[in-house]
Amino acid sequence: SSMLEQFPRLGLLIDVGHSPSLFSDPYWFECFKDRIFEMHIHDFSRAKGLDHQVVGSGDLDFKRIFSSEVIRRIPLILEHSAMVSEPELLEERELLKKRYSIT
């Protein structure tokens, strides 16, 4: 964080699927809450070797990720592989609305 203090206009774009061990812990969201300006959201499965999957289909703990207040004030960008189908996307949208109150 000391580096960030030297650059007051520097912000963070968080990609939860590429730093799962770090960003599944809400502690990090709190540490950098004033600097996070956007988040890329997608799931992944280590066992299946799949990345950029719909939320809830893989290994990430989205309940913990979405528990941070930071989520309520920043843009969330859904990032998917070309293999994700339209029905999967529609199901994901409903999951985000119902389970996590993300609209």
Residue-wise pLDDT for 13-56, tens only, equals 988 887 766 666 777 788 888 999 999 999 988 888 888 999 99
Distance, CA of 41 to CA of 52 (rounded, Å): 8
Whose tokens are 């809450």? That residue is 33
User: Over 90: is that where the pLDDT of 96 sits?
Assistant: yes
Tokens (6 digits) for 3: 């580096």
CA distances from 24 to 20, 27, 76, 90 (A): 6, 9, 15, 24
Start-to-end C-alpha separation, the chain:
31
User: Over 80: is that where the pLDDT of 74 sits?
Assistant: yes
Tokens (6 digits) for 25: 């812990």
User: Over 80: is that where the pLDDT of 2 sits?
Assistant: no
Average pLDDT for residues 86-101, to the nearest whole number?
Answer: 95
CA distances from 102 to 10, 13, 14, 74 (A): 26, 18, 17, 11
**Length of the chain, in residues:** 103
Q: What local confidence, expressed as pLDDT, does residue 40 receive? A: 93
Q: What local confidence, expressed as pLDDT, does residue 94 receive? A: 96
